[in-house]
Structure 1
């Protein structure tokens, strides 16, 4: 059985993935911000709960200082905001949760991943191709990476999911010793859109999968001995992602910009905060 670290585990898809991983006998450490829900899940699963906000350096460092073994890291935390919000460090929230957090957490846990099975699963979205409302294609805008000039909730969400996918592929190129994959779990009924009008959310939920159904491919990629390294999965199927996601130059530039924001990848010690 594997030692699994699951980020974003206390509700929705993450909670269901935690329940299934625990049922299958894996040693589970899960991360979330809500203490009550986290402690309840710990009692249900027998896993270890770490309360942390991974959108911040403080949260990432707290997890890195607490975890001692990692075979599989699942970066699942997600957010969607109706209006532009920033973290305590001043980063736009979608960018911080979907890109900076996986980048920084993977960086700080890399030595442990190398000693273990070395698997990283990033939960992504088909939204990386085109906004849920609007038209594509989605591209990274380095001139407005944090949506300061123009904020659209759906486009910002999609761009930061594309950033996550570019990170996934670049991580695979730079660290071939790891097994890395991204997965779109399907359109899942969660509380991700809780800030939006109920009528819009209700319409969205009509055809959506349950959280348990959404968790199934995440658990599969985290535990199966047979997955395609460096691949993007739409649920259980190895699928081509958007053309923009394969732009190596953009991926390299994004990696460099992220290191400017967070410090060099996989260097022991404190990560760099915003200047």
Structure 2
């Protein structure tokens, strides 16, 4: 039995992954308190924490609660995701895609990594969108301007940029923590409520060819508890090469340093979990 932390666990792919991982010691995190309470009833042996990881205070609440409950984490899965047709900001004033896809995994991992021993796994749920946005084009990232402002925001390009930032971070973390297994995975195009704010016909056109949330969860679960320690980037179950820019080590270091400026950390006591 492994101790597994799953961020973004109360709906969609994360919910199905949590169900498939039942039997391990689970810490499950989701933003919606109602869904968290319902998941706690569904998986009564798990510790379910309602917290918004798009803001620093929410991340610190999660870290405090988990740190108070265990001294070891075998697997950390960063799965929280968002996609919005118009620019939104988190409670900290950070563009929401960046806050959820990059700053949340960065911060959660930074605060929980002291509990992850050598051989532990960190799995960042990423996307093939890091290569190119849905409408086509090239994805680039400026470490001096990680946030897309109102004039730069495009729902698909901004999503892709933040997934690229997360992938650069994934590889840089592996270089800095070689004793761990740090990976990113594209689970496939999955039918979830991620794009629920987009026009209905636009969402339906994508979901017609998408995988179920159960099938989307399968590669995440295998990477979490499979016999072989995973490395690098996965397109579902298959090791794959990510975009050329994602292997730029100088850019990765610059993004790391810029992120440190955006999201410094402080520790604080945890709060009670929904259990």
Deviation per residue, 1:9-32 (Å, 9 max, x gap) = 11000000000000xx11111001
Task: Report the 3-state secondary structure (helix = DSSP H, G, I; strand = E; otherwise coil) of the residue aligned with 2:195.
Answer: coil
Count of residue pairs the alignment pairs up: 262
1:45 Cα deviation after fit: 1.6
Task: Report the 3-state secondary structure (helix = DSSP H, G, I; strand = E; otherwise coil) of the residue aligned with 2:156.
Answer: helix
Give the conservation status (yes or no) of the 8 Å contact 1:128–1:159: yes
Counterpart position of 2:176:
174
Task: Report the 3-state secondary structure (helix = DSSP H, G, I; strand = E; otherwise coil) of the residue aligned with 1:142.
Answer: coil
**Correspondence list, 1:77-226, <5 A:** 77-114=80-117, 117-135=119-137, 137-148=138-149, 149-226=151-228
Counterparts of 1:228 and 1:215, CA distance in 2: 16
Counterpart position of 1:257:
258
Give the conservation status (yes or no) of the 8 Å contact 1:9–1:32: yes
Give the conservation status (yes or no) of the 8 Å contact 2:4–2:75: yes
Counterparts of 2:238 and 2:139, CA distance in 1: 22
Q: Which runs of 5+ in 2 are unaligned?
A: 269-275
1:143 Cα deviation after fit: 4.8
Counterparts of 1:143 and 1:62, CA distance in 2: 29
1:40 Cα deviation after fit: 1.2
Deviation per residue, 1:160-199 (Å, 9 max, x gap) = 0001100100000001111111100000000011110000
Counterpart position of 1:273:
none
1:211 Cα deviation after fit: 0.2
Counterparts of 2:126 and 2:13, CA distance in 1: 12
**Correspondence list, 1:41-56, <5 A:** 41-46=39-44, 47-56=46-55
1:142 Cα deviation after fit: 3.2
Counterpart position of 1:15:
15
Higher relative contact order (CA 8 A, sep 6+): 2
Residue 33 (str. 1) matches residue 35 (str. 2):
no
Query: TM-score under structure 2 normalisation?
Result: 0.92
Counterparts of 2:177 and 2:101, CA distance in 1: 20
Counterparts of 1:228 and 1:212, CA distance in 2: 21
1:117 Cα deviation after fit: 4.8
Deviation per residue, 1:49-72 (Å, 9 max, x gap) = 111111111011101111024111
Deviation per residue, 1:209-236 (Å, 9 max, x gap) = 000000000000011121332x100000
Counterparts of 2:51 and 2:102, CA distance in 1: 16
Deviation per residue, 1:124-183 (Å, 9 max, x gap) = 000000001232x21112354211131100000000000110010000000111111110
Give the conservation status (yes or no) of the 8 Å contact 1:72–1:117: no
